[in-house]
Chain A
């Protein structure tokens, strides 16, 4: 539905987006991941015609955005929740959108309901909104025209945990009904649970793509890893090394290149008390993400990345 072909956007000698191609299919959620400044926003801006591409092409449902008549009815866009007039009320923002798209006023109330902004909040001026409320208003605005494509830039930014869960459910349901969703994030865990496909971008280039499982397989190179914590990590580390297993410190415990069962067996033999033992997949994905995008990270990472990932 969304087709990006050989897209490049340069600003003078700085190349924000460097020859990227990907496709978002109907009925799926595509996660667009990368650190700040990787080129996600630029790509999305080109999609909706706010930024002209230097090379390449983006089409939505076979059309350039500018050729879609009344585009709000087809493509829901949220690029920056703060890009609203601070002096307008939340309701007025939606009413202007509804009027432009030629929608009945009742649609505004439906959307306010959907994003849980109550009547009193809707009457307040956007100036007094928290980032989370602006984000909800922005999502309401994107959904106003009942579009079949959603393009959302960092929609979870500023939402509280309950809000993030709500948004996940909303987007998942939307895709299940045949909608196409592209959402960007710089946080892996915001996206990995709902994205059918993930596109990792760093330095303006796509560095990896695929389903969560595919990416995991690549991340671990087919080799299983185990995360383990013992009362005496030193002792466990020595025991594992003796068995010829590769061991690295990871957070409060160890990362071992082996199946969990092998690690458990060694611990049992040596009578080492374990406090935590699990497969290290999540860490693999997080590591992959950080590793692939390391060139563009603003903060330098320690050699061994902590694999303690929020579950």
Chain B
């Protein structure tokens, strides 16, 4: 048997806690270091460019006089569909691949890990906005050059704020559903049901029932976001956005974080 001379306590005075910024960098890295993650990011970028090219062909062919906002709206379709998928997977891949066991042994504070993940998707939303603005501007300038029409910009600053909110809402809602379900497939399916099926059901219900028609804007987060897409949001729309956002984003996120804190990681 060897000589047991080492002290039986840990000297932790030289190891500060893992800084939050480092956790965020690690989480950003994890979004892109697998084939699945990388291709999802590449697909989002590629589809966005593709949509712009098609849009350009259509507006030039039919002489439609688009504005800068129209290009932002065109790009919102691929971004709005795929960014939330990235949001879902940023949480659930730790569970389906069981890496949460490793992640939580290196940083036992699960709330810090979840916060780092959330910040990482906020940064991706900001990056998406920057790419969207650059591509949209490019498209707008090119349209002007090709068509000879005057280029219309509108309130670019206001659009930037609205579209950042859209991307953040999309990714954060996906993130919340992912945290709630802790399963990639379930998270993505539920997100798509929420985002494509539910608004239809809501509008049918609103058409059939008067009382529901007045309730719908307060509970339909998707439809409320159309006011941001059109940049027509004002007054009461904001209050409705806050209420429906609380229901579909804040509540599932809170329950999801509570669940992650308590979940036994297998």
* Residues of B contacting A97 in the complex (Cβ-Cβ under 8 angstroms): 102, 106
Q: Which residue of chain B is the closest to A73 with respect to CB atoms?
A: B15
CB-based closest 8 A-B pairs: A61-B10, A178-B6, A87-B34, A27-B4, A26-B6, A83-B98, A66-B108, A69-B17
Interface size on B, residues (CB 8 A): 41
* Residues of A contacting B25 in the complex (Cβ-Cβ under 8 angstroms): 99
Q: Which residue of chain A is the closest to B33 with respect to CB atoms?
A: A92
Interface members, chain A 210-247 (any B CB < 8 Å): 211
Interface of A is mostly: loop
Is B101's CB within 8 Å of the partner chain A?
yes
State whether B8 touches A100 (Cβ < 8 A): no
State whether A86 touches B97 (Cβ < 8 A): yes
A84–B8 alpha-carbon span in the complex (Å): 31
* 7 CB-based A-B contacts, threshold 8 Å: A50-B104, A50-B264, A66-B108, A82-B98, A85-B93, A97-B106, A196-B1
Q: Which range holds the interface residue count of chain A?
A: 35 or more
A99–B27 alpha-carbon span in the complex (Å): 11
State whether A100 touches B22 (Cβ < 8 A): yes
State whether B97 touches A178 (Cβ < 8 A): no
Please tell me which one of the listed residues B4, B7, B10, B102 contacts residue A83 in the complex, with CB atoms under 8 A apart: B102
Interface of B toward A, CB cutoff 8 Å = 1-10, 12, 15-19, 22-23, 25-26, 29-30, 33-37, 93, 97-99, 101-102, 104-109, 264-265
A48–B25 alpha-carbon span in the complex (Å): 24
CB distance from A32 to the nearest CB of B (A): 18
State whether B1 touches A28 (Cβ < 8 A): yes
State whether B12 touches A65 (Cβ < 8 A): no
State whether B108 touches A79 (Cβ < 8 A): no
Q: Which residue of chain A is the closest to B8 with respect to CB atoms?
A: A1
Please tell me which one of the listed residues A1, A51, A77 contacts residue B264 in the complex, with CB atoms under 8 A apart: A51
Please tell me which one of the listed residues A1, A87, A141 contacts residue B36 in the complex, with CB atoms under 8 A apart: A87
Interface of B is mostly: loop
* Residues of B contacting A69 in the complex (Cβ-Cβ under 8 angstroms): 12, 15-18
Interface members, chain A 17-61 (any B CB < 8 Å): 25-28, 45, 48-52, 60-61
Please tell me which one of the listed residues A25, A88, A99, A179 contacts residue B8 in the complex, with CB atoms under 8 A apart: A25
10 further A-B pairs in the complex, CB-CB below 8 A; given A25-B8, A80-B98, A97-B106:
A27-B3, A62-B9, A65-B108, A71-B105, A75-B105, A83-B99, A83-B101, A83-B102, A87-B35, A87-B97
CB distance from B259 to the nearest CB of A (A): 14
State whether B10 touches A96 (Cβ < 8 A): no
A105–B107 alpha-carbon span in the complex (Å): 19
A85–B108 alpha-carbon span in the complex (Å): 19
CB distance from A31 to the nearest CB of B (A): 13
Is A169's CB within 8 Å of the partner chain B?
no
State whether A26 touches B4 (Cβ < 8 A): yes
Given A27-B6, A61-B8, A87-B36: A96 in contact with B30 (beta carbons within 8 A): yes
* Residues of B contacting A175 in the complex (Cβ-Cβ under 8 angstroms): 2
Is A68's CB within 8 Å of the partner chain B?
yes
Given A50-B264, A82-B98: A74 in contact with B10 (beta carbons within 8 A): yes
Q: Which residue of chain A is the closest to B18 with respect to CB atoms?
A: A70
Most buried by A among B4, B10, B22, B35: B10
Q: Which residue of chain A is the closest to B13 with respect to CB atoms?
A: A69
Given A27-B5, A97-B106, A99-B26: A50 in contact with B265 (beta carbons within 8 A): yes
CB distance from A54 to the nearest CB of B (A): 12
Given A85-B34, A96-B26, A102-B22: A27 in contact with B2 (beta carbons within 8 A): yes
CB distance from A36 to the nearest CB of B (A): 16
State whether B4 touches A28 (Cβ < 8 A): yes
Given A25-B4, A50-B105, A84-B97: A68 in contact with B18 (beta carbons within 8 A): no
Is A148's CB within 8 Å of the partner chain B?
yes
Is A63's CB within 8 Å of the partner chain B?
yes
Is A101's CB within 8 Å of the partner chain B?
yes
* Residues of A contacting B1 in the complex (Cβ-Cβ under 8 angstroms): 28, 196, 211
* Residues of B contacting A125 in the complex (Cβ-Cβ under 8 angstroms): 35
Encode A148-160 as 1/0 by CB contact (under 8 A) with B.
1100000000000
Please tell me which one of the listed residues A27, A71, A80 contacts residue B106 in the complex, with CB atoms under 8 A apart: A71
A169–B159 alpha-carbon span in the complex (Å): 64
State whether A141 touches B104 (Cβ < 8 A): no
Encode A260-296 as 1/0 by CB contact (under 8 A) with B.
0000000000000000000000000000000000000
Is A113's CB within 8 Å of the partner chain B?
no
Given A83-B98, A175-B2, A178-B5: A49 in contact with B18 (beta carbons within 8 A): no
Is A118's CB within 8 Å of the partner chain B?
no
Is A176's CB within 8 Å of the partner chain B?
yes
State whether B107 touches A100 (Cβ < 8 A): yes
